[in-house]
Structure 1
Amino acid sequence: MTDLILRAAEAGELATVLKFWETAAENDSRPVDTMDAVAALHRRDPSALIIAIDGGEIVGTIIAGWDGWRCHLYRLAVAPARRRAGIGGRLIAAAEERFRSFGGTRADAMVLDANEAAHRIWKLHGYTPQDEWSRWVKPL
Structure 2
Amino acid sequence: MSDLLSGLRIRPAGSADINAVLRFWRDAAEGTSISDDHDGVARLIARDPEALLLAERDGEPVGTVIAGFDGWRCHLYRLAVHPGHRRQGIGRALLAAAEERFAALGGRRADAMVLDRNEPAHHAWHASGYAPEPQWSRWVRHLTD
- 1:10 shift after superposition: 1.6
Query: Which residue of 85, 98, 104 maps to 2:101?
Result: 98
Give the equivalent residue in structure 2 for 1:12: 16
Partner of 1:123: 126
Structure 1: distance between partners of 2:59 and 2:122: 29
Q: Is the Cα–Cα contact under 8 Å of residues 72 and 107 in structure 2 kept in the other structure?
A: yes
- Tell me, yes or no, if structure 1 residue 137 matches structure 2 residue 143: no
Cα deviation for residue 3 of structure 1 reads: 1.1
Match of 2:78 among 61, 75, 80: 75
Counterpart amino acid of 1:128? A
- 2:128 and 2:90 map into 1 onto residues whose CA distance is 12
Could you report, residue by residue, the CA deviation over 1:79-100 in whole angstroms, capped at 9, with x for unpaired residues? 1000000000000000000000
CA distance in 1, matches of 2:105, 2:41: 22
TM-score normalized by the length of structure 1: 0.96
CA drift of 1:31 comes to 2.9
Q: How much does 1:60 deviate?
A: 0.3
Q: TM-score, normalised by structure 2?
A: 0.93
- Pairwise CA RMSD: 1.0
Q: Is the 8 A contact 2:35 2:41 kept in 1?
A: no
Which consecutive segments of 4 or more residues in structure 1 shift more than 6 A? none
List runs of 5+ in structure 2 lacking aligned partners. none
Q: Flag structure 1 segments of 5+ consecutive residues without an equivalent.
A: none
Q: Does 1:50 align with 2:17?
A: no
Q: Deviations over 1:4-57 (max 9, x none)?
A: 1001002101110000000100115x4361100000000000100000010010
Cα separation, 1, equivalents of 2:63 and 2:115: 18
Alignment of 1:11-30 (within 5 A): 11-27=15-31, 30=33
Q: Distance in 2 between matches of 1:84 and 1:43?
A: 32
